[in-house]
Amino acid sequence: MPLIQVFEYEKLTLNIDNKGRYLTKHQLGKLYQFNDNNKNIYFTGIRNGVKFNQYVGVIQIGGLTIEILPKADNNKYAVDQDYSNWRSALLKMLGYCKKIKLSSVSDANLQRRNHSILDLYFEIFLDEVDFLIRNGLVKKYSRASGNVKALKGSLNFAKQIQNNLIHQERFYTNHQVYNQDHLINQILFKALLVLKQISSNSSFVDRIERLKMNFPEVKLVNVKASHFDQIVINRKTAKYAKAIQIAKMIILKYSPDIKSGQENMMALLFDMNKLWEEYIYRMLLRSKTDDLNISFQNKKYFWEKRKIKPDLVIEKKQSLGQEKIRFVIDTKWKVLSVKNPQPSDDDLKQMYAYNMYWGAKRSMLLYPNSKNINEKFGNYLMGRANPEDNQCKVGFINVLDAEGGLDLNIGSKILQKLDVIR
């Protein structure tokens, strides 16, 4: 399957670019239609093409796969290694944010150039279903009705008269059965059928056929979003959690209404702003010490029913009898100009409100960047008796390390930037 890799905010058009990338008219029409069906949030339509937004991940159109990768600098002359590094970084970020099984992001998988991000999810799903079948699919009680040879449950008199006037040795009853034909297993089987239809990976098709042969007979259900709301994961069904999560993605994100003949479309896209925010939280947790508390997605009312919500609040314990010191971080996944890295007035006003409402002495707007930029705290001039007790910094952090891999030490570097640790 052809694979095209682009960075967020890059363009793909009908014209061949300097990397040999292009779209056919048919593929471009599919992308336009897909974006229209999703409120035009994933990319922007331009003349004869599209410009991608902050959403990263993968789009599959029939025989074409497009991987959209994050990027934290303004370098216009990306080489193949840049795409490889950021693809690896994205997969590992998804792993640490528990959106993909981290153990699946192996070096072997990362080196498989034609193995897309979507293929990794599919492979995890097939592994999970295989595990569930080998260890025995869960059975449940369910209601059933029909002709049986022994009287059990309650007799349905209307159906008995209708069906068994001649065959009086049979009983038409409403009764309970204990088997594997229930909603969770029906969803897994439906996901296998959908995956067979959308995947052009021959090894997946072979695996799906083997799994279908070993799957118990279950009713075919037209699965919708409401079906997933009915699922309750308990001690007995906990082992299904990962398989159901990916089955939901396979079934609901597959677009059968955007297809021509055998050409189907599927997308798995993540808002990079939200992914960056959660990833920073996970990395801070890796670096926290016993005297620190790090909380995620805080909120307080500030006017009537309106809320303010900083991304991260850090509390540092002091000596007995002393108040905790608080720090606030707001993450921003965008690239500021290196020559003049100034935040907007609205962002600075927002950070001022966070300082006042959470009693924080220092806060930071955190941006990704690959350059060394001089940073310093700036004082808010009102609100506290001492302006140095009310400060904000524009901070920059390199997502990748010196070797081009994901930097897993950025948590401690961020804490140092805020003067939480030294």
Model-level pTM? Answer: 0.81
- Report the share of the chain in percent with pLDDT over 70: 84
For residue 338, being part of any structural domain is answered with yes
Give the confidence band of 236 by pLDDT, cuts at 50, 70, 90: confident
Report residue 150 as tokens: 């022994």
For residue 422, being part of any structural domain is answered with no
147 pLDDT more than 90: no
For residue 280, being part of any structural domain is answered with no
Residues 260 and 339 in one domain: no
Residues 98 and 148 in one domain: no
Domain stop point among 271, 303, 333: 271
Q: What is the pLDDT of residue 255?
A: 53
Q: What is the pLDDT of residue 313?
A: 96
Residues 83 and 168 in one domain: no
Q: What is the pLDDT of residue 267?
A: 84
Higher pLDDT, 64 or 188: 188
260 pLDDT more than 50: no
Provide the domain count of the chain: 3
150 pLDDT more than 60: yes
Task: Report yes or no: 369 and 332 within 8 Å, Cβ to Cβ.
Answer: no
Q: What is the pLDDT of residue 117?
A: 83
Residues 312 and 163 in one domain: no
Q: What is the mean pLDDT of residues 378-400?
A: 91
For residue 63, being part of any structural domain is answered with yes
Q: What is the mean pLDDT of residues 268-273?
A: 92
Pinpoint the alpha helices (H) of 199-240. 202-214, 225-229
* Rg, Å, the chain Cα set: 27
Task: Report yes or no: 271 and 47 within 8 Å, Cβ to Cβ.
Answer: no
Question: What is the span of the domain harbouring residue 11?
Answer: 3-135+184-271
Residues 108 and 171 in one domain: no
DSSP state of 260: E
Residues 358 and 246 in one domain: no
Of the candidates 283, 303, 270, 286, the residue with the CA atom closest to the CA atom of residue 397:
283
Q: What are phi and psi of 58, to 5 degrees?
A: -145, 145
For residue 166, being part of any structural domain is answered with yes
How far is the CA of 148 from the CAs of 139, 161, 179, 182, 217, in angstroms? 21, 14, 16, 20, 19
Residues 221 and 79 in one domain: yes
Higher pLDDT, 320 or 307: 307
Residues 175 and 317 in one domain: no
214 pLDDT more than 60: yes
Residues 217 and 91 in one domain: yes
110 pLDDT more than 70: no
| Cβ-defined contacts of 300-304 (< 8 Å, 24+) | 300/357, 300/358, 302/353, 302/357
Distance (Å, whole) CA 189 – CA 129: 9
Q: What is the pLDDT of residue 257?
A: 43
Distance (Å, whole) CA 22 – CA 16: 5
Residues 87 and 145 in one domain: no
For residue 276, being part of any structural domain is answered with no
Three-state DSSP class for residue 257: strand
Task: Report yes or no: 229 and 193 within 8 Å, Cβ to Cβ.
Answer: no
104 pLDDT more than 70: no
Distance (Å, whole) CA 28 – CA 45: 10
Q: What are phi and psi of 367, to 5 degrees?
A: -115, 150
Q: What is the mean pLDDT of residues 392-410?
A: 91
Of the candidates 277, 280, 371, the residue with the CA atom closest to the CA atom of residue 72:
371
Q: What is the pLDDT of residue 293?
A: 94
How many Cβ atoms from other residues are within 10 Å of residue 240's Cβ?
21
Q: What is the mean pLDDT of residues 81-98?
A: 90
Residues 89 and 233 in one domain: yes
107 pLDDT more than 60: no
Task: Report yes or no: 201 and 65 within 8 Å, Cβ to Cβ.
Answer: no
* Farthest CA pair distance, the chain: 96
Strand ranges (DSSP E) for 31-170? Answer: 43-46, 49-52, 55-61, 64-69, 140-148, 154-155
